[in-house]
Amino acid sequence: MVNKDKIALHWKIVLALVLGVIIGAILQLEVMADWSQQIAAILKFGASIFLRLLKMVVVPLVASSLFVGVTSVASNRDLGKIGLRTAFYYITTSTLAIGIGLLMVNLIQPGKGAKLGLTVPALTDIQTPGSLWDILLRMIPTNPVAALAQFDMIGIIFFSILFAVFTTTLQKSEREPVVRFFNSFYKVMMKIVHSIIALAPYGVFCLIANLIATTGFAVFVPLFKYLVTVTLALAVHFFIILPLIAKFFAGKNPLNYLTAMAPALLTAFSSASSAATLPLTMECAEKRGAIPSRITHLVLPLGATVNMDGTALYEGVAVLFIAQALGVDLGLLQQATVLLTALLVSIGAAGIPHAGLVMMVIILEAVGLPLEATGMIWAVDRVVDMARTATNVWSDSIGAAVVAHYESSSD
């Protein structure tokens, strides 16, 4: 007998997807029957519970994870120029990655014409900033407590980062109790998130079964286009943008450096975990990539904490795909909100299980889109998880090379 606890979560989700499709198809065939409608109502109720559980943890998780992420980085007082260069590189490449994702989804429009059977939110429920100044004003909450209560994600993110930065300026005796409290709070939130994520197969089953029962198999056509869009955007960033950075800003032959980092990249791809790959990434960068250990020991762990190019790119594509599927046209400024939110949230999201999916809930809340469409994204998450993790590690590796190049030039 197979021990179900030994079955990986992503395989449980795949099984839930298959069962959801089967049950949904049966319900659609008998859509007019009373029993079919009753089961569909139960499935919708189950899906709503799962989505509400996810939404429940968003605010405390964002606040605590950002605090822990910022303080863990800022507390290292010997960062100096290396830290500044590293931060600049990570912000730049993450912004480029999200921009590529948004560009691809606007060109391909994978969600256009999709029939997902979802309720289109009222225009008043969708965040519609009037100008760039409105976005900047939204970043500064007049009442941080009200921002927490009203799910003002941009305001919550800004205040959390600001609070963390100024916490690091306190004397050690004053700082440590605050840091310990939020570290403990974050650990509690992580336990809650782990428990909710463990329910993902049941949530996916309810979401998919209800979706198929409502719309049929037409939902899989835009989903295939979505996968193509994500894969293409990741490929552009992985094989074009990052190698160009390696060549012109690190003085590295991209192909040679890619070969040197291949063991780490393949491990990241197969394990879908940049944190688990970190020791091998450091070894490859030092021994095969000729990066000084004083650089790798600072830049790579920092990258594993705050740099998520592939994941941030994926977020941009997924959120715009959902908007297109709903028939909602997100304008340039709303897409700028998506970019800004994805960039800021990625600072503290690296340690979160299935971080990409949790980040997606946060960004959808930021732009006022419903969470129901995440069921389809959950179903295929593992397919792109490996590719985006490899992209994250590749970006970290090139970041180490760039910093090492400029450090050697300034010596």
pLDDT score at 126:
47
Mean pLDDT for 176-195 is 90
pLDDT at 214: 77
Q: Is the pLDDT of residue 382 over 50?
A: yes
Is-above-0.95 flag for pTM?
no
Tell me the mean pLDDT in the region 73-93. Answer: 75
Give yes or no for residue 256 having a pLDDT over 50.
yes
Task: Give tens-digit pLDDT for 264-297.
Answer: 999 888 777 777 788 899 999 999 999 998 888 8
**Residue type at position 21:** V
Token couple for 399: 């970041």
Q: What percentage of the chain exceeds 90 in pLDDT? A: 31
3, part of any domain: no
pLDDT: which is higher, 398 or 157: 398
- Position 14 confidence tier, pLDDT thresholds 50, 70, 90: confident
Instruction: Report yes or no on 4 lying in a domain.
Output: no
Residues whose CB is less than 8 angstroms from the CB of residue 45 and which lie 6 or more positions away in sequence, other chains included: none
Backbone angles phi, psi at 177, to 5 degrees: -60, -40
Lowest-confidence range among 110-119, 239-248, 257-266? 110-119
Domain hosting 357: range is 9-410
Task: Decide if 1 is inside a domain.
Answer: no
Evaluate whether residue 90 is within a structural domain. Answer: yes
What's the pLDDT score for residue 119?
Answer: 57
Q: What's the pLDDT at 1? A: 42
Higher local confidence (pLDDT), 374 or 115: 374
271 vs 251, more confident? 251
When pLDDT is cut at 50, 70 and 90, the band that residue 261 belongs to is very high
- Picking from 32, 29, 350, 353, the residue whose alpha carbon sits closest to that of residue 190 is 353
Which residues are CB-neighbours of 103 under 8 A, at least 6 positions away? 233
Q: Predicted confidence band at 2 (pLDDT cuts at 50, 70, 90)?
A: very low
What number is the average pLDDT over the span 14-34?
84
Which of 60-74, 176-190, 192-206, 227-241 has the largest mean confidence? 227-241
Which CATH number fits the domain that encloses residue 242?
1.10.3860
pLDDT at 123: 40
Task: Compute the mean pLDDT over every residue in the chain, rounded to the nearest whole number.
Answer: 83
If one counts the domains in the chain, the total is: 1
**What pLDDT, on the 0 to 100 scale, is given for residue 244?**
98
- 285 domain-assigned: yes
The string of pLDDT tens digits covering residues 117-134 is 555 554 434 444 445 566
Tens digits of residue pLDDT in 306-318: 788 998 999 899 9
User: Regarding predicted confidence, which is higher, 118 or 304?
Assistant: 304
Given this model, what pLDDT does residue 279 score?
A: 83
pLDDT at 125: 47
Residue in the block written with tokens 């007019």: 32
In a domain, 125, yes or no: yes
In a domain, 324, yes or no: yes
Q: What percent of the chain has pLDDT over 70?
A: 87
Could you tell me if residue 344 is inside a domain? yes
pLDDT score of 353: 56
pLDDT at 78: 46
Higher pLDDT, 357 or 320: 320
Q: Give the pLDDT confidence score for residue 118 in this predicted structure.
A: 58
Q: With 50 as the cut, is the pLDDT of residue 177 above it?
A: yes
Ranking 39-53, 56-70, 73-87, 104-118 by mean pLDDT, the lowest is 73-87
